[in-house]
A and B are shown apart, each in its own frame.
Chain A
Amino acid sequence: MIAALVLVPAFAGVLALLLRRDRLRRALLVATALTHLGLVAAVWRATPAAPPTAWLRLDPVGTLVLGVTSVLFAVAAIYAVGYLAHEVRAPRPDMEEDALFANGPEAVFTACLLFFLATMTLVTVSQNLGVLWVAVEATTLASAPLIFFHRHHRSLEATWKYLLICSVGIAVALLGNFFLAFAASFGPAGSGSLVLNELIAGAPGLHVRWLKAAFVLLLVGYGTKMGLAPLHTWLPDAHAEAPSVVSALLSGALLNCAFLGIVRAYQVLSAAGQGRFAGDLLIDIGLFSMALAAVFIVAQPDFKRLLAYSSVEHMGILAVGMGLGGGAVFGALLHLVNHSLAKGMLFLLAGNILAAYRSKSTAGVRGVGAALPVTAALWVAGLLAITGSPPFGPFLSELVIVKGAIDQGHPVATVLFLLFLAAAFVGMARPMLTMVQGEPLASLPPSGRDRWLAVAPPAALGLAVLLLGLWVPSWLNDVLRAAARVVGGGS
Chain B
Amino acid sequence: MTAMFEINTLLVGLLLVDFVLLGASRLGTSVRQVAAQGALLSLLTLAEHAGWGAPWRVWLLALGSGVVKAVVFPYFLRRALREADVRREMAPYVGFTASVLVGVAALAASLWLASRLPLPGPVPSPLLVPVSLFTVLVGMFLLVSRRKALTQVVGYLVVENGVFCFGLALPEDAPLPVEVGILLDIFAAVFIMGIMIYQISREFDDIDTGRLTSLRDEAS
Contact = CB atoms under 8 A, between A and B. Distances in A.
Interface of A: 128, 130-131, 133-134, 137-138, 140-141, 144-145, 148, 151, 153-154, 156-161, 163-164, 167-168, 171-172, 174-175, 178, 181-182, 185-186, 190-194, 207, 209-210, 213, 236-237, 240-241, 295-296, 298-300, 305
B1 interface: no
Nearest to B187: A141
Contacts of B188: 138, 141
Interface string B99-120: 0000000000000000001111
Nearest to B160: A171
Interface stretch (B26-34, B83-91, B197-205): B197-205
A168 B170 contact: no
A240 B181 CA distance: 31
B181 A131 contact: yes
Contact of B215 (A167, A241, A295): A241
Interface stretch (B2-10, B50-58, B66-74, B172-180): B172-180
A428 to B, nearest CB: 14
B146 to A, nearest CB: 12
Contacts of B182: 130, 133-134, 174
23 contacts: A130-B174, A130-B181, A131-B181, A134-B178, A137-B185, A141-B185, A144-B192, A148-B199, A156-B212, A157-B212, A160-B149, A160-B196, A174-B163, A175-B136, A175-B162, A181-B170, A182-B170, A185-B171, A185-B172, A191-B172, A240-B215, A241-B215, A296-B220
Interface string B127-158: 00000000010001001000001001100100
A190 B170 CA distance: 12
Given A130-B174, A154-B215, A156-B199, 11 more contacts: A130-B178, A134-B184, A138-B185, A144-B196, A160-B200, A160-B212, A163-B193, A167-B189, A178-B170, A192-B171, A237-B215
Contacts of B163: 171, 174-175, 178
Contacts of B189: 137, 140-141, 163, 167
Interface on chain B toward A: helix, strand, loop, or mixed SS? Answer: helix
Nearest to B216: A237
B59 interface: no
Interface on chain A toward B: helix, strand, loop, or mixed SS? Answer: helix
A240 B160 CA distance: 29
Interface of B: 117-121, 136, 140, 143, 149, 152-153, 156, 159-160, 162-163, 166-167, 169-172, 174-175, 177-178, 181-182, 184-185, 188-189, 192-193, 196, 199-200, 203-204, 209, 212-215, 217, 219-220
A104 B130 CA distance: 45
Given A154-B215, A168-B156, A171-B159, A134 B181 contact: yes
B192 A154 contact: no
Contact of A154 (B117, B172, B185, B214): B214
A175 B166 contact: yes
A458 B159 CA distance: 41
Nearest 3 interchain pairs by C-beta: A134-B181, A130-B178, A192-B172
Given A192-B172, A296-B217, A164 B152 contact: yes
A153 B214 contact: yes
A156 B212 CA distance: 9
A158 B181 contact: no
A171 B167 CA distance: 12
Contacts of A167: 156, 189
Given A134-B182, A164-B143, A191-B172, A299 B118 contact: no
Contact of A158 (B117, B153, B159, B215): B215
A295 B219 contact: yes
A171 B156 CA distance: 9
B152 to A, nearest CB: 6
A207 B199 contact: no
A218 B66 CA distance: 27
Nearest to A192: B172
